[in-house]
Amino acid sequence: MFTQQQLTSILSALPDPAFILTRSGRYAAIFGGKDLRHYHDSKALVGCSMFEVLKEEKAHWFAAEIEKALEGGVLHIVEYELSGSDVKGAGEGPGHSLWFEGRVQALSFQVEGEDAVVWVASNITHKNEIQQTLRQLSETDALTGLYNRRKLIETLDDRLAIFEREKSQTSVLVFDLDNFKRLNDQMGHQAGDAALLEIARLCRQHLRQSDVIARFGGDEFVVVMPGTHRHDALEIAERLRKHVQITLRENLQYDATISGGVSEFNQPDRVSDDILKRADQGLYLSKRAGRNRVLAL
């Protein structure tokens, strides 16, 4: 129906690049990639090995995916990131991270004496950016930019599973702003929002990168501390409490404090809400004891 020249022209006109890759990782042929908005000319790769072009770790990853496609014999779909740091030679790779969907299919014949696959790479960077933005919006609090209740529960569920499997401890701090209603009544809701923003900033500044900080609702905050026992979490919470009191007085000219409760996972815990309830009980007892303190249960 088509001549060899016509078939070659059709393949070359494909918007996405199609790589013919051998089991050993050699670029046997490259077709398409005509959408110059997303792809550079890759023809120079023909005859090269992925291990000559890519850093070792990335090349081994591609080789493993090729092996999966060859062993499975069915369409293998994978999403992956590629950046300049993955490419050997300065300036040869993309200046920023790109995301691709690879559709990998084993060929029914050998190429250059090796089993081979056709790997069609579709640039999904824009789609990935939109997904990341939507995910961020669904997981963060609009006012403070901290994580929201949904992300908090997801994190606690994950940490509970790790605790049950590996006995790796996690502690939780629950705290809120003392007399928050009075602050709003006396200074207005803008002052209340400013206090919440300042607390969020202090949490980011003084807590660890591994800690997951969430605004649970209103003026209540929750901090998940992976790999941390209750007594260590209490020390961290105490330092935060002191910073909040000093900073709010200096920046808002208002004497405001926080009260909190700390707890850690226990063997009887079956759902993540168990640890939240204990930490919340510690918060309640801190309030009854006079506020401006953190108690551990």
- Could you give the domains of the chain? 4-131 (3.30.450.20), 140-296 (3.30.70.270)
Q: At what angle do helices 149-166 and 125-139 cross, to 10 degrees?
A: 90
The pLDDT assigned to 54 comes to 94
Helix (H, G, I), strand (E, B) or coil at 257: coil
The pLDDT assigned to 215 comes to 96
102-116 pLDDT tens trace: 999 999 999 999 999
Cβ atoms within 10 Å of 87's Cβ, excluding its own: 16
- Whole-angstrom distance, CA of residue 233 vs CA of residue 55: 41
Residue 228 near residue 236 (C-beta atoms within 8 A): yes
Residue 75 near residue 117 (C-beta atoms within 8 A): no
Residue 66 near residue 23 (C-beta atoms within 8 A): yes
Q: Is the pLDDT of residue 198 over 80?
A: yes
With CA atoms as reference, report the closest residue to 219 among 253, 195, 243, 251: 195
280-297 pLDDT tens trace: 999 999 999 999 999 999
Q: Which amino acid is at 37?
A: R
- Whole-angstrom distance, CA of residue 194 vs CA of residue 149: 21
pTM of the model: 0.68
Q: Is the pLDDT of residue 95 over 70?
A: no
Residue 77: its H or E element: strand 76-82
**Token pair 């016509």 is at which residue?**
6
Lowest-pLDDT range of 10-14, 22-26, 98-102, 177-181: 10-14
CA atoms within 13 A on the CB side of 59: 17
Confidence band of 128 (pLDDT split at 50, 70, 90): confident
- How is 2-69 classified by DSSP, letter by letter? --HHHHHHHHHT-SS-EEEEETT-BEEEEE----TTT----GGGTT-BHHHHB-HHHHHHHHHHHHHH
Q: Is the pLDDT of residue 196 over 90?
A: yes
Name the region of 13 (left: φ>0; alpha: ψ -120 to 50; beta: rest).
alpha
Q: To the nearest 10°, report the CA torsion of 215, 217, 219, 222.
A: -40
The pLDDT assigned to 12 comes to 85
